[in-house]
Amino acid sequence: MTNLLEVEDLRITYPSRQGPVEVVRGVSFTLGRERLGIVGESGSGKTQTGRALLGLTPPPGRATARRLSFDGIDLRAATPALWRSLRGVRMSMVMQDPKFSLNPVMTIGRQLVEAARRTASRHDARNRAMAMLEAVQIRDAARVFDAYPHELSGGMGQRAMIAMMLITEPDLLIADEPTSALDVTVQIEVLRILDRLVAERGMGLIFISHDLRLVSSFCDRVLVMYAGRMVEEVRASDLAHAQHPYTQGLYRCLPRVEGDQRPLPTLRRDEAWAR
């Protein structure tokens, strides 16, 4: 089986007064038709990695890699036209907060149809939009179709956003903290939708999150990032027995309903991890 995505030695640098700063330093991984989690603390470079895969590193940042290929297409030399034909069609990204990533002055329906028109006729696009809203378990699809983003709750907005990203049936979905702004019970429903789509459509999913517990229960494999480096790659089911002290520390410092350990074990950072 060929890999959907191959990343080798991805580096992202930003210029600064003190010279270039590398925020992602040599990240390598491959992705098949599976659920891959990327975890790390804020500032570890996980979001930057996700954005670079879509060629969305904001200038003046620069992303370089020895190898960056999507379904055999070399993305390093991709022209703007090639990016346009891939983004939103074959690869999409779900952002953290629907409040900031939906257009506030367009109805959900118009935004969905706009996305669907990439691959479908006008008439078809509308039908697809309605079907997609139902697929993400929005009960009253007709109402949501005509609603503006501010008229929806956070959970609804995030579902609409997922619908928008999936309407072109992409091969790769990058979800950057897709459920962090949602309540825990809604969170699980949204994840179930993603899970079903991976299983039914054979999509590759990159799930970026700071929530180790969620990632370990949802994904197949997990990459752990620290200070721009990939410190460990583990099977999600083995996360409790991870090798790297950073992963162990991150996992143990979570309070548990059953646990009665106090003080909570804290993470002791080692300079060597960042090197």
Partner 1 sequence: MGALMALLEIAQLEVTFGHGSDRVQAVRGVSFAVNEGESFGIVGESGSGKSTVLRAICGLAPITGGTLRLDGAALKSPRPAAFYRRVQMIFQDPYASLHPRHTVDRVLAEPLAIHRFADRETRISRALDDVGLGASFRFRYPHQLSGGQRQRVAIARALILEPRVLLLDEPTSALDASIQAEVLNLLDGLRAERGLTYVLVSHDLAVVAHMCERLLVMQNGLAVEPLTRAQLQAREASQSYTRDLLTASEGYRPAPST
**Binding residues vs partner 1 (CB under 8 A):** 41-42, 154, 183-185, 187-188, 191-192, 195-196, 210-214, 216-218, 249-250, 253-260, 262-267
**Residue closer to partner 1 (CB basis): 142 or 264:** 264
Our CB check for partner 1 shows the closer of 101 and 180 to be: 180
Of residues 104 and 263, the one with the C-beta less far from partner 1: 263
- Six token digits for residue 52: 């670079």
Min separation Cβ 114 and partner 1, Å: 30
Least distance to partner 1, CB of residue 242, Å? 14
With respect to partner 1, which residue has the nearer C-beta, 26 or 249?
Answer: 249
d(C-alpha 163, C-alpha 124), whole Å: 16
Q: Which is nearer to partner 1, 7 or 198 (CB)?
A: 198
51-71 exposure pattern, b = at least 16 Cβ within 10 A, e = fewer: bbbbbebeeebebebeebbbb
Question: What is the nearest approach in angstroms of partner 1 to the Cβ of residue 153?
Answer: 9
Task: State the minimum distance, in angstroms, from the CB of residue 254 to partner 1.
Answer: 6
Shortest spacing between CB 262 and partner 1, in angstroms: 6
32 or 249: CB nearest partner 1:
249
Q: Is 80 exposed, middle or buried (0-12, 13-18, 19+ CB in 10 A)?
A: exposed
Least separation, in Å, of the C-beta of 15 and partner 1? 21
